[in-house]
Structure 1
């Protein structure tokens, strides 16, 4: 009959693997989405995803899956502690990797306006026009700095001056979107931390069981 501790350990181990699946799915789907033709409904997300470490997310997910596979012997060998120690260290490595990815995105949010200004100037007029249509604005800071792209939203200089620049709505959207990404990464780190604690408790439990078994053997109970 499995103990409650082992049931929690198994549950967290599968949640850990599920986090790897979410990370892999998000990274691959984001890379696929970025290859789509730019439209008003996807241009902003694609630009922001291009600033995220998606390749690092794929590598991190692979590490998580490898760690999960190496944890299976620890589940099926109730007296073994070596596989548990290996799993514990690998989970720490995965957590550190995920934390690094989350921090990379978080640091970008601290300088959102500066980064988005550089991003805006690098993009082609088509992308700038799509951003103007999405946020109903003209130019980045204002209609003249840098100059707006004339389109259906910014018909002429008079209309453009009345609408204002895109810096406000663009940066607000970027902060909200990137906040979700790095918060999810930190949430995965939280799952990793719980799993490490659970591994430590299972190690302690198995160590105590081994000690009791040796005591029983010395008392002539045959390790029962």
Structure 2
């Protein structure tokens, strides 16, 4: 691991600990010598990190310290690049543009010597052949964020169309389809709708009667899905 990455990971490790962590434990965690840990700690302190402690006692990061958001490790840069590529190839036009703009902004303000890492990434998102929607997903994503009900005209596999009022809670982007998880007032239960089968939709202007976080948790329990880590 490059030293710049190790220093960042060291800060992140200390942020998750409330009690002083001994140098030997840190050396074991990062697979380096105790002397290297001592040098790293001094370097971080010299750069302004509020670390208390000393050799033989342990180290603790004082509360309130936040790592600048653009101190990415090499792995994190690659994750951002790959993620933005996947979004750009699988999402609606608005989200695709947002992904490209976000990556450009991040790359532009990376520290000197790091900006080329995004272009030199050895990862590439493959082609995605998702079904084409007849409606724009951006307003649906907005309804999810704002916790608002929507009306949809939906065509099932047999071509039968129904009209429903739903509470949209999650959009899942799969390789070939996109699924909208929602509480369906017509069926009085949770359902997943293929977005390419939504013929039309409109915002109702009403808020959910319950918070989306609670609905998502309930839906995950019913589907037997674990919480994301």
Higher relative contact order, chain-length normalized (CA < 8 Å, sep 6+): 1
Which category describes the TM-score, using the shorter chain as reference length?
under 0.3
- Give 1 or 2 for the bigger CA radius of gyration: 1
TM-score (norm 1): 0.28
